[in-house]
Amino acid sequence: MLRRLLVAVALLFVTAAPSAHADPGVLLEQRPTTVFVGPFPAPVKAWHLLYRSTSATGEPNAVSGTLLVPATPWLRGGPRPLISYAVGTHGLGDQCAPSNLLAHGIENESALLAQALSQGWAVVVTDYEGLGTPGTHTYAVGRSEGRAVLDAARAASRVTGAGLSPAGPVGVFGYSQGGQAAAWAAELQATYAPSLNVVGVAAGGVPADLNAVFASNDGGAAFGLVLGAATGYAAAYPDVPFASILNDRGREAVARVSKACTVELGAAAPFAHLQDFVTVPDPIHEPRWQARLAENYLGTTAPKPPVYLYHGTLDELIPFSVGTALRDRWKAVGAKVTWQEFPLLEHIGGVSIGGPAAMTWLGTKF
C-alpha cells in the first residue's frame, strides 16, 4: 500500500515540461509541502520543486527536488547559506525519490539534513534525473547528477517566499552516489554554473572510476548495484548496447532493479556476475561502453571550489584505492583538496562517522 501511495505522489509531482529555451536552473514549479521526521512534521518551511536541468548528453530535462528552510530568521549577517544535498543510492523506482521519502518521514539521511538545518542553513535535495519524474533514473551517471545538484541550488534561490539570495554562499554535500554527484558538481561548476557562489564541496565514498568499481563488485554481495548502474547508463546513453544483449535472466533482473529501492536493489543478484545476464562476452569493455564510462571518470579537471574528500579504509563497495586515486589526480591538476581517511570503516560506517565531520567542514566555508 505504501509503495503504491508513494508512486502516486511521484506522478502528481510532475506537471511541467522543460523548455529548451529556459536556462538551466530555472524554476518550473514550486509547491508548499510538509516534511516529516518519522510521524512528526519537521519544523521547517518546505517546497517541492521542479526545475530545468541538463542531461548527460546536453539535452534539457526537468528534475524534481525539495527545498527546506529553517523557520527561524537568519540573523548572522549576509544571505542565508544553502546546502545542495546529493543523496546516496536510493534506487531506481520513482517511489524511492528523496522528495517522496521526506514527505512520508522515511528518508534515511534525515540526520545529516537535520545537522545542516540546525545551523540555520537552507537545504535543497535533488531527486536526480528520472527519479520521481518521467523516464528511467540515470543512476551512477555523474555528468547528469552533477548538473542536477548545481541546478537545484540555482532553482532554490528563485523560490518565492524562501528568502534565499542568488549570490548567497552554497555548499555541496554528498556520499556514495551522492559523493559522485557532489564531485561532478565540483568539476562542472566553473563552466556549467559559473555565477553560483559555491564555497565548498564535501564528497565521500566517491565512485570516481566506474571500471574499478565494477571490477570490485562483479561477483560481489551487492552486485545488484552494478545492474542498476548499467540500467542508468543505458537510459542516459541510448548508443550503449544493453537491452539488446540481455538474456532471459538479464531481462527479468533489470525489470526488477528498475523498480527497486536501495536494499532491494543491492540484494537483487547477490554474488552474480555481469556475464550471467548477457549474451555477449565482456560487455563492459565494448568500445561504446568504455567511451561513456570515460566521460564520467573523475579527476581530470580541477574543481574551482575547495573540496573535502573522505573515504573509509575498509569500504567494501567503493574501494579505498578509488578514493585515494581521485585525491591524487585532483591534487596533480591543482585542486584544493582536504583529504580525510577513516581507518577500519566500511561503506556505511564511512558516512555515519565521516558525514557529520564533512558537514562541519562545510560550515567553516560559510
Least confident of 13-22, 42-51, 192-201: 13-22
Residue 312 near residue 354 (C-beta atoms within 8 A): yes
CB atoms inside a 10 Å sphere around CB 346: 15
* Burial of 162 per CB tally in 10 Å (0-12, 13-18, 19+): buried
Q: What phi, psi does 290 have (nearest 5°)?
A: -65, -35
Residue 7 has pLDDT above 50, yes or no: no
- Sequence-distant (≥ 6) Cβ neighbours of residue 258 within 8 angstroms: 92, 93, 136, 231
What single-letter amino acid sits at 286? E
Separation between Cα atoms, residue 207 and residue 294, nearest integer Å: 13
- Sequence-distant (≥ 6) Cβ neighbours of residue 287 within 8 angstroms: none
pLDDT confidence of residue 356? 98
Average pLDDT over residues 13-41: 82
pLDDT band at 90 (very low <50, low <70, confident <90, very high): very high
Three cell numbers written together for 168: 548567497
Q: Kindly report, residue by residue over 207-220, the tens digit of the pLDDT.
A: 999 999 999 999 99
pLDDT confidence of residue 17? 58
pLDDT band at 22 (very low <50, low <70, confident <90, very high): confident
Average pLDDT over residues 41-47: 96
Residue 30 has pLDDT above 90, yes or no: yes
Q: What crossing angle do the helices spanning 287-295 and 210-217 adopt, rounded to 10°?
A: 120
pLDDT confidence of residue 6? 38
Average pLDDT over residues 317-322: 98
Average pLDDT over residues 287-316: 98
- Sequence-distant (≥ 6) Cβ neighbours of residue 81 within 8 angstroms: 120, 121, 122, 168, 169, 170, 171, 366
**Greatest distance between any 2 Cα atoms in the chain:** 62
Share of the chain above pLDDT 70, in %: 94
Q: What phi, psi does 24 have (nearest 5°)?
A: -55, 140
Residue 9 has pLDDT above 50, yes or no: no
Give the residue ranges of DSSP H helices in 207-271. Answer: 210-217, 224-236, 248-257, 262-266
pLDDT confidence of residue 21? 61
Q: Kindly report, residue by residue over 331-348, the tens digit of the pLDDT.
A: 999 999 999 999 999 999
Residue 258's nearest CA partner among 134, 88, 92 is 92
Separation between Cα atoms, residue 339 and residue 185, nearest integer Å: 18
DSSP character at residue 283? G
DSSP character at residue 97? -
Q: Kindly report, residue by residue over 126-176, the tens digit of the pLDDT.
A: 999 999 999 999 999 999 999 999 999 999 999 999 999 999 999 999 999
pLDDT band at 312 (very low <50, low <70, confident <90, very high): very high
DSSP character at residue 176? T
Residue 227 near residue 214 (C-beta atoms within 8 A): no
Q: What's the whole-model pTM score?
A: 0.95
pLDDT band at 19 (very low <50, low <70, confident <90, very high): low
